[in-house]
Structure 1
Amino acid sequence: MLQAIGLTSTPRRDRPPAVDDLSFEARPGTVTALLGPAGAGKTTALRLMLQLEPGRGVTYFRGRPLHRVAHPAREVGVLLGDVPGHPSRTLRSQLRMLCAATGVSGARADDMLQVVGLTGVHDQRIGTLPRGMDRRLGLASALLGDPHTLLLDEPVAGLSVNESAWFHELLRTHADEGGTVVYTTADPKDAARNADRVVTLDGGRLAADQDVTDFTRTRLRPRVAVRTPHAARLAAVLTQESRAARRPVEVVTEGGNRLSVYGSDCATVGESAYRNGVLIHQLADEIGAEGDLGTAVGAGGKGAGRTRLPAPAPDQTTTRAGAGRTALAQASSDGPVAGSAAGRPAGERWDEGAPTEEGTVRKKRARGRATADRRDWKDRLRRKGAGGAPAAAAASPASRATSVGRVSPPAAGAAASDSRAASRASGTASPGARAAAGRSSRRPARSPRAPYRSPLRPLRYEVRRLLGVPSTPLVVVGVLMVSVTLAVLLARGGRTPLPAALAGWPGISPLPPAALGAGLLGAFSFGEEYRYPALTTGRGAVPRRLGLLLAKLGVAAAVGACLAGVVVVADLEVLRLVYGGDLIPVPRNWPTLCANWFGLVVGCAWAGVLGAGVFRAAAAGVAAVLAVPVLFAPPLQRFLAGAPRRSVTGLPARLREFARVEWASAADRWLMGALRVVGQPVGVALTLTLTVLLCAYVLTGRHSRARW
């Protein structure tokens, strides 16, 4: 169950809050629609539930606030706006990366692509997806962790009738398996067709919290549908008689020979047509959506004999049988909204066009395909739980909530306490009574910032993030080509030392191409996270946890070391090919030179990672890399040149004596070599830069957690 209690957003610039003291419940096994026009606060309400928006109030997910859920991605699936991700990443690469962030097997990505019908386009780029495929990919991302609750913001906006029907059928499947679904919509007909409960928002406040039957009766007014070849004449007659009788009757011409009469009934309309000699082809009562018929008058003459059609059974208007829906759910409503029941003026209307017969046929066909997909999904998940997730069709709601891949429910005492607290706050009274009680009580506590708990497999996540975009191979190839070209040009004159030629490092360049490339790849590790925040949908900003930072530093170091080695080998082989092997002697101090080279490249990669992580941009990471040789190294070199020098010879022996630990003599040579490398001006500047950036990263991470 989802329980939202006292959600209130923080007002900005003397404006009223977008959401003000909102409280409602969404029960398992049901689809709940947050209904309201643009600006009603629907999206802000979802962000408050996910603690992505500063404000007050609390939301309980099965008795626990989100910051107490061990693995939020396995409890709540989220779809807010477009699918966040690098536009050059493929669908499969995106989902496999998110699988590592969610902590499930990578095979789950292929299963979700099959569920949402994207198996044939799994290698397509995200940036080239049409609207329908983008929505399907977003739903697949939300379902990766097999969550209990789905929160979706305008999931079918801009989709065709077939796509919308398929999407809602999949949401209905999730609800039928015991899950909770909450989605926002601005279309009351959409809420009446697809939701079990409708929560109406008006100006950020709760206007109504109704069952779909009550919503249809109070918000979608009854009307009389009339088909006649003399529509204009009948409309004038009905308008004239209603004015004479001072009755609030509204006649709307729907196009062609069809009229919708609001505020009247079939008997009154039929008698008016009979008195004025108007031929009627059809006369029917409609409630909510077109096609929900009560009584009808058959054609056959002027006010010919009436035929009363049997009214639909109660279960046909309030429940769903199998995969089908009633006429109320299948058709679209074009009537005005009753204002008195929901705090809206009586004359205000939701302007929507009536559906066509062709659209209804397409919708039924899409519903049949979606039902077949749902059966295939159930059968497949019954045979095999993908990625450790439970078989959705085979498990009951209770077992489904406690099986592998979901968050286990809280302990009995904690659950009872949270449930009692939620009951006291929300109560079992009407929504208006709960809202009044909430306003009369003290202000709700400020919602705490949830701790960052994702990704669960940071190393796998970072590797898939790095290899899933074309920028990585492009940078590597570019570095190799530039480095080889510079090496050939530098060795041609014979004056450049061999280490500089192998590194492709001319004197006019602050850094060699390999170091710049490693720094650029390191800057992309955090820069792309902030530019294309794939982790934002579930948990806010990029997680600043230690595990993810260590994974990024480790992967950046490995990539930098590999790049440094490949560049040296490639340059050496090209120089031997062009100038011969005799002209390329191996220096005696090659171990120290190699240590300096690898330390420089790896240090630049780390500077790029930390710079982009602190300043939240890849350009800042590259600037941090260039700042070492351009800004910090020259003054540090002048300072070290003028300062008296002391030797650290004998430091390994003193360390052994201090620690009282014996180690091999080879360790002494490695230790002294490392000290000589770090003691270089560039090494000292790079070490200081990395230390400052690491401290800044930690401090900004602590500040971002405590700012709310």
Structure 2
Amino acid sequence: MIQAIGLTSLPRRNTPPAVADLTFDIRPGEVTGLLGPARSGKTTAVRLLLGVQSGKGATLVDGCPLRDLARPERAVGAVLGDVPGHPRRTARGHLRMLCAAHGLPASRADDLLETVGLGATADRRLGTYSLGMDRRLAFAVALLPDPHALVLDDPVRDLPPREAAWMHALVRRHAAAGGAVLLTGRDPGALARTADRIVVLDGGRITADEPADSFAGTRLRAHVAVRSPYAQRLAGLLAEGGAEVVAAGGSRIAVYGATSAAVGETAHRHGILLHQLADRPAGSAAAPREPGPDHEAGERPVRRGAVPRSRPAPLRTPHGPLQPLRYELRRCFGLRTPWPVAAAAVAGSALGALAVARGGAAHTPPLRLLSGWPTGLPLPPAALGAALLGALSYGQEFAFPALTPGLGPEPRAPRLLAAKLAVSGALALLLALLAALADTSALRLALGPAGVPDPLVLSATTAGWAALCVACAWTGVLAACAFRTTALGLAAVLSVPLLVAPGLRFLLGGRTGAQFRDAAEALWSVATGAPRTDDRAALAALRSATQPLVVALVLSLSCLVIAYLASALRERRRGRGSTPVHSTGAVRIDHEEA
């Protein structure tokens, strides 16, 4: 059983909280309906329940706080809107990628696609899916780790009746199998037919909590909805005339057994101002009764062991994918993006090598020849391609968040970061190799065999070229992880030769730069015990390592690693109960902003 205890959102700008003191149960084998109009607080309540949004209160799963579960997605599956997957990824590829995150075999994705009726369209891109197909895929994502409970935030919104009926039937099947379901919605008739129990929200507070049959018998009758600043006086007058009046709280009442004309005449005779007078047909919900001692269904017993209301409930402790390398490989190669980027980088490198050859290859450093690096470019084309692939690894993660900080694995988990660094480093090495081969071939055609440097002979240059590509890729990964976008990740890489390196060159230029290089050579001599003129290859590598661009790359990588560690430490402290901060996670709210 899932217990929501005292859920309260944090107030904003001197406004009252969107939801306050919500306490209800989600019982196994039942569908609990959370009913309310737009902006009543349903979405906020769901986000607080799941730990996606910080606030006060607690969520218990069989007596254990949800945030303390090692794999909460196996306890609760959630549908919080449309599937935020990449539009060019197929449904099968999307689910198989998530199978790796949850440590499941790929066959689980195929089984679920058949279960939700998407087997025939599994290889279509998500961008071509209709709204109904997208909602079916959202159900498949929620059911992927086989959770015991489902939390569904208005999954039938804007769907045609046939699709809505299918969704409700799937919900009922899950509850019939012993699962617990929380289903939010605005249609009282449909929710009463599907749910076993109805919890009514109004203005961010629970105004009723009763069985669905009782709700349907008392609330779904034809009535007159009235709103007036003198609602209590009008209610007394109507009750004297034989009408049944239900107080809705505030200035609203629902009148049964009378017509709107009769209510209007009564108000007119007694000089009562009306703000609303409308007929509500059978099947529409009446305004909910205020819970009180004479309304048994509205009473809710106090839960023992509840978290004190003054204590903030921290966000859930993040965790990473179970198979991060497999996940990253499916994420990277599930799209066609790497191939055109790699092809453009290799082609640009070959063209750059030809441009360098035309400018005079005799006086050009071997690194520029080998990498196809014209003087007009801040970085070689292949290094830029490696940086773009690295930035895409996290840019796509946050732009189309398959992993969310709600219940699924955390996209910034250390193991996943290590997997992204490994994959991007391997791709960078492959790009460096392909670019070197393409550049050598282009130079051979332009200058002949005698004018082409041999990569095998220039071992230090070749190693430096490979290290430059890997460093650019890793800078792109870490920068996109920190800034959450591909553009800023690539911009951080470009800022190294355009901003950081010139600044270092200014600080270390002239005699200062020479002294810095001499200090490095002296340190190498002391460490190895060899004269400074003996190991020319090592000294050449040291001189290359002290170049402003190399020092700038190392400095940038160090700063990004420190920023990541600081962010991880802040997340860990938040999970241990520090002052909550509103989540900036990737779960999208495509409807109700409560």
TM-score (norm 1): 0.67
Structure 1 spans left out of the alignment, 5+ residues = 224-242, 251-260, 265-332, 345-428, 658-667
> Could you give the per-residue CA deviations for residues 107-138 of structure 1, whole angstroms, max 9, x where no partner exists?
21111111111112122111221100000110
Q: CA deviation at 1:218?
A: 1.6
User: In the TM superposition, what is the alpha-carbon distance from 1:447 to its structure 2 partner?
Assistant: 0.9
- State the SS of the aligned residue for 1:114: helix
SS at match of 2:77: strand
CA contact (8 A) 1:522 1:608 kept: yes
Q: Partner amino acid for 1:470? A: R
- Alpha-carbon distance change, 143 to 674 in structure 1, aligned in 2, over 3 angstroms: farther
Alignment map for 1:149-188 (pairs within 5 Å): 149-188=149-188
| Paired letter, 1:567 | A
- Residue 48 (structure 1) aligns with: 48
| Alignment equivalent of 1:516, drawn from 369, 384, 391 | 384
Of 480, 503, 511, which residue of structure 2 is paired with 1:642?
A: 511
Cα shift readout 1:677-703 (whole Å, capped 9, x = no counterpart): 533322211111100111011112323
Q: For 2:355, give the aligned amino acid.
A: L
Task: Say which SS state the counterpart of residue 147 (structure 1) adopts.
Answer: coil
Q: Secondary structure at the match of 1:646?
A: helix
Q: CA deviation at 1:651?
A: 4.2
The letter for the 1-side match of 2:149 is: T
Distance in 2 (CA, whole Å) between partners of 1:558 and 1:595 is: 14
| 2:489 alignment partner in structure 1 | 621
What is aligned with 2:289?
341
Contact preservation (8 Å) 2:55, 2:313:
yes
Q: Residue 136 of structure 2 aligns with which residue?
A: 136
Alignment-mate amino acid for residue 41 of structure 2: G
554 and 442 in structure 1: CA distance in 2 versus 1, 3 angstrom threshold: closer
- Output aligned runs, 1:264-663, within 5 Å: 334-339=282-287, 341=289, 431-434=298-301, 443-495=309-361, 496-497=364-365, 499-536=367-404, 538-539=406-407, 542-577=410-445, 580-586=448-454, 589-638=457-506, 639=508, 641-643=510-512, 644=515, 645-646=518-519, 648=521, 651=524, 654=527
Task: After superposition, give the CA deviation of every residue in 1:332-356 in whole Å (9 maximum; x if it has no partner).
Answer: x844534463579xxxxxxxxxxxx
Aligned to 1:106: 106
Paired position in structure 2 for 1:327: none
Task: Tell me the CA shift for residue 22 of structure 1.
Answer: 0.4
Deviation at 1:554, TM superposition (A): 1.2
- Cα deviations across residues 125-178 of structure 1 (Å, max 9, x unaligned)? 112211000001100000110011111111111112221121121111111111
Q: Percent identity?
A: 47
Q: Within 2, Cα distance between the matches of 1:110 and 1:179?
A: 22
Q: CA deviation at 1:588?
A: 7.5
CA distance in 1, matches of 2:528, 2:414: 30
Q: Which amino acid aligns with 2:400?
A: Y
2:567 paired residue among 700, 704, 708: 700
* Compared CA separation, residues 669 and 167, structure 1 to 2 (3 A): farther
Q: Structure 1 residues 51 and 669 mapped into 2: Cα distance closer, same or farther (>3 Å)? A: farther
Following TM superposition, by how much is the alpha carbon of 1:434 offset from its aligned partner in structure 2, in angstroms?
Answer: 3.5
Offset of residue 545 of structure 1:
2.3
Shift, 1:12, TM fit? 0.8
Per the TM alignment, residue 484 of structure 1 is displaced from its structure 2 partner at its CA by 2.0
Q: Return the alpha-carbon distance in structure 2 between the equivalents of residues 670 and 208 of structure 1.
A: 80
Contact 2:479 2:560 in 1 (8 A): yes
Question: What secondary structure does 2:201 align onto?
Answer: strand
User: What's the C-alpha RMSD, in Å, of the aligned pairs?
Assistant: 3.1
CA distance in structure 2 between the aligned counterparts of 1:675 and 1:53, rounded to whole angstroms: 50
Alpha-carbon offset, residue 247 of structure 1: 5.0
Count of residue pairs brought into register by the alignment: 515
Q: Tell me whether 334-343 or 620-629 shows the greater mean CA deviation.
A: 334-343
Superposed displacement of residue 578, structure 1: 5.6
Match for residue 591 of structure 2?
Answer: none
Q: What residue identity is the alignment partner of 1:69?
A: L
**Alpha-carbon shift at residue 548 of structure 1 (Å):** 1.6
Q: Distance in 1 between matches of 2:133 and 2:528?
A: 63
Identify if the C-alpha distance between structure 1 residues 592 and 145 changes in structure 2 by more than 3 Å, giving closer, same or farther.
same
Q: Work out the CA distance in 2 between the residues paired with 1:500 and 1:214.
A: 80
TM-aligned CA deviation for residue 648 of structure 1:
3.6
Paired position in structure 2 for 1:678: 545
Displacement of 1:543 in angstroms is 3.6
Paired residues of 1:24 and 1:431 also in contact (CA < 8 A): no
- Separation (CA, whole Å) in 1 of partners of 2:161 and 2:536: 73
TM-score by length of 2: 0.80
Partner of 1:372: none
Q: In terms of mean alpha carbon deviation, does 444-453 or 604-613 score higher?
A: 444-453
